[in-house]
A and B are shown apart, each in its own frame.
Chain A
Amino acid sequence: MTEERTYIGKRTPGLDEKDKVLGNVIYADDFTLPGMLHAKVFRATKPSAIIKKLNADRARKLPGVACVLTAGDVPNNESISNVVGQTTEVGLLEARHQVLVKNRVRYYGEAIALVAADSVAAAEEAIELIEIEYEEIPGVYNPLEAMKPESPKIHGDNNIIAQWKLRKGDVKRGFAESSVIVENTYRTPRQEHAHIEPESGVSWVDDMGVINIRIATQVIEHYRDVAAVLGIPQSMVRIKGTIIGGGFGGKEDVTAEVFLGLLTWKTRKPVKLTFSREEMGYGRQKRHPYILKYKTGASKDGKLTAMEAEIISDSGAYVYLSPWVLLYSTVHSTGPYFIPNVKVDSFSVLTNNIMTSAFRGFGGMQVAFAYEAQMDEIAKKLKMDPLELRKKNFLKKGSETANYQKITSEVLLKESVEKALSALGEKSKSTETKKTGRGFACSWQSYGRMTYLHDTSSAWVGLELDGSAVVRSGIPDLGGGQRESLRAITAEILGLNIEEVHVISTDSQVTPLAGTVTATRALFMSGNAVKLASEHVLDIITKKASEMLNTSVKELSLKNKTVYTTGGGSIPLVKVIKQCAAEGTMPQSLATYKAPFTDPVKTEVIKDPVFADFTFGAQAAEVEVDTETGIVTILKYASAQDIGRAINVNRVEGQIEGGAAQGIGFGLMEDYIEEKGIPLTLNLATYLIPTSKDIPDIQSIILESKSGKGPFGAKGIGEPAITAAAPALISAICDAIGVRIKHIPATPERVYRAVHDKN
């Protein structure tokens, strides 16, 4: 039986949308302070070199320049972080980073110096006046080359900086028992986040000596990184997040925080730093390009018997989140299927390419491209319907994955595929040169961070004297309605009108830390925290009301600012609050939600649960391939996702459709191209992302198993929405032209070649 809810599961209007359509939102770059300086970053124009000479004297002397900082000016320029579970088999046990290049440049675009001046023009001119001489040294740009012992080393003595393994059953025996075996190598592109808002922020020192940084970030906890670089207490740095103009993981690692902190700390003046679009290209992390070698076997009746894979990830020149992205890939590499015998070896490899790190999907979508292509190929060999094959192998609630983790929620994959396919309707007809085809793909994607990280999220909820409520949560609002969901949850629990709930978020000195808006964890973690705090406030109110009404708590409910008894009695909420205040028991609560905890990963072999839960879904596409040009047009598209429970239907659709669109870009057009470390796709004229003409009307289908670990049974949807897009499209193209594209994006050139090489 479904309990009727006022706000949960409805199309709640957005709290900031009116300001967004009116142009009232003050985004990061829109903010200014009196006397503010403007900063620019001086960046390397070689991918692999030693700095022989660096002279900023002329820049420093330029009128209007307040300061020029180089590596020697940074108190703690180098930092290290531990990569868990790794033994001596890999290179760097501790990931090394530098704020500014001290000596050796490892990628084109690496930051070397910072300038702050009283105008943008002066800062730009100062950058031009910095003199530099390089000595180029051999670099390595191909991860396969970089893995060889004789290749140039990027940091220590081994370019492999992380490796993970899955070991289950006996693959030899599994393949021996197979009737069909499919072996393929797949490649995926280096995708750029391409959020429309550049990285940007403004910093200042306040009258308490605290460094304030107002910035577009997915992680306000980076105040700790600023403090570490400056060597000052963490309590003396504040990150105040803004409404973010898109992130997708691109604003997860430190963006401008540390540069701003340094410049403000040196000048004691407000400073603004906004990256240019080109800088967003060569100065920022991308999605890891992967090489995936897969071997999959199945029995005659379509039961998967064994899977063996080697996964190689190009990490670029610095570690960042590469080991963890790779861990995600490894765990998800089997797809949402039960396979008795599994052997996976994955490697994260340093090169002199642009660094790679978090991006929506976080290692889940590269492997999805491979495992779904394998399923289609097995189905073809067995002459079996691809859905029938999958149905024989889907994970179920209670199944054990290849890392020995039990699935604890419902798995509605069959339903997802059927709904997505039926949403496509009648199949369009092919012509002589325009071939239509259909395909689908399934995905699983964890939500919430890795459980050994012991993730927590805190929130504060309190009632004002008039019965309105305030929610404080550190969670940043990425545009996905993060604050709105919290508002709906509190309004639901406390029986308030949603307009009476105010959410204060994303300020490290004001809001309880809620953790990052990443890893599809915002609703799961902060939603649960706000629910806990709201329920505690409700307890305080009903306990007090029970005393005042002389009845038991069980008989009370709170609605419309009134506490009702089952027997028809009532008392206004305001009266109860006043009584609470008079007695000093304020109706407020600071609650912390703790995600399921597991022990730390101890070895490269992943043999313990790593994630709290997974979201399962499917995407389906109908395409038309022009065999004369190789151009792929998507005619119809549907995505069906079991999101557990929709908190706000509008926002769930937004995630499903936006995720599909970004996944379509990954599958068909996006690739950040570098030639020997030199970037060639620096702006949105050369790095193409989907426009309104590339994306069909995406049909979003919401399934609700109510079996998730989020509030009200919700699962997460931010990342799962993107995962199955590319394999669905490639499957559709294969259906149209009879050839499988194994190297995405499926650009017109690649599709044309596929068509014509076949003939």
Chain B
Amino acid sequence: MGEKEYYNIKLTVNGKVVTGSVRAEISLLDFLRDNNYIEVKKGCDKGDCGACTVLIDGKATVSCLTSALQAQGKNIYTLKSLGSWDKLHPLQKAFVKYEALQCGFCTPGMLMTAKALLDTNPHPARESIKEAISGNLCRCTGYRKIVDAIEAVGRGEL
């Protein structure tokens, strides 16, 4: 095995410039978690569960199937970009109000997918919501409350 090559990368995460030196096979997910963006969850590392979903240039993307190199120069948003303790994002408020979570492990990815949906389709129909989050697996809730919460934000309730 030869020496592994490292590449310097620079990207923007939640508005902050982050730099690093990575090997080609490092995923954006591992890069983010190594840089303490632990709100991005690793559920399967194969693009099947959606727990690691972040926004890349506004698009909901599974960070485990994105190499860190591919994210070079991009704008990444994680769950931490949404709201703060004193000022929750309407989606976060809705997830609390509608109890749209149990264990909470799928929630970071679910919320980012919902954010991407509402950014392009502010008043989605129930079926569009179900379609949009179909790549984000939740094993606890049965999804109804999640769909209720996103729908409530869509109709401007929160």
Contact = CB atoms under 8 A, between A and B. Distances in A.
Q: Which of B39, B44, B51, B130 has the most CB of A within 10 A?
A: B44
B143 A25 contact: no
B108 A197 contact: no
Contacts of B78: 23
A459 to B, nearest CB: 23
Nearest to B38: A30
Interface string A644-663: 00000011011001111110
Contact of A654 (B49, B80, B111, B141): B141
A511 B99 CA distance: 27
B85 A18 contact: yes
A20 interface: yes
A236 B41 CA distance: 32
A693 B134 contact: yes
B83 A22 contact: yes
Contact of A657 (B43, B46, B88, B141): B141
Contact of B43 (A13, A25, A197, A660): A197
A454 to B, nearest CB: 30
A274 B45 CA distance: 12
A684 B46 contact: yes
Contacts of B147: 692, 697
A196 B96 contact: no
A194 interface: yes
B95 A17 contact: yes
Q: Which of B95, B111, B131, B138 has the most CB of A within 10 A?
A: B138
Interface stretch (A130-138, A241-249, A331-339, A348-356): A241-249
A685 interface: yes
Contacts of A17: 95-96, 99, 101, 104
Nearest to B23: A121
A600 B129 CA distance: 52
B111 A21 contact: yes
B67 to A, nearest CB: 15
A18 B39 contact: no
B123 interface: no
Interface in A658-679: 658-662
**Chain B interface main SS type:** loop
Contacts of B103: 195-197, 243-247, 478-479
B139 interface: yes
B46 A196 contact: no
A498 B99 CA distance: 18
Contacts of B16: none
B11 interface: no
Interface in B8-45: 38-39, 41-45
Interface in B118-158: 129-131, 133-147
B63 interface: no
Interface in A680-735: 683-685, 689, 691-693, 695, 697-698
Given A683-B48, A689-B137, A651 B142 contact: no
Given A692-B134, A697-B147, A21 B101 contact: yes
Given A21-B92, A23-B80, A691 B38 contact: no
A658 B102 contact: yes
Contacts of B96: 13-14, 17-18, 21
B106 interface: yes
Contacts of B39: 22-24
A16 interface: yes
A18 B84 CA distance: 10
A26 interface: yes
Nearest to A18: B96
A21 B90 CA distance: 11
B38 to A, nearest CB: 4
Contacts of A659: 142
B101 A661 contact: no
A693 B102 contact: no
B18 to A, nearest CB: 17
Interface in B69-113: 78-80, 82-85, 88, 91-92, 95-96, 99, 101-108, 111
Contacts of B133: 692
A572 interface: no
A718 to B, nearest CB: 11
A399 interface: no
Given A692-B133, A692-B134, A479 B104 contact: yes
Given A17-B95, A20-B107, A691-B134, A277 B101 contact: no
A685 B105 contact: no
Contacts of A657: 141-142, 144-145
B46 A685 contact: yes
Nearest to A125: B1
A23 B79 contact: yes
Given A21-B96, A244-B103, A692-B146, A196 B134 contact: no
B21 to A, nearest CB: 14
Interface of B: 38-39, 41-49, 51, 78-80, 82-85, 88, 91-92, 95-96, 99, 101-108, 111, 129-131, 133-147
25 contacts: A17-B101, A21-B79, A21-B92, A22-B88, A23-B80, A27-B41, A27-B105, A195-B139, A196-B43, A196-B51, A196-B105, A196-B139, A197-B105, A198-B43, A243-B103, A245-B41, A246-B103, A277-B45, A651-B99, A654-B141, A657-B141, A660-B142, A684-B46, A684-B49, A689-B137
Given A20-B107, A27-B41, A660-B142, 12 more contacts: A13-B96, A18-B96, A21-B111, A197-B41, A277-B43, A479-B102, A658-B102, A658-B139, A658-B140, A661-B143, A692-B129, A692-B134
8 shortest interchain CB distances as A-B pairs: A23-B39, A479-B103, A245-B105, A20-B104, A661-B142, A657-B142, A684-B48, A479-B102
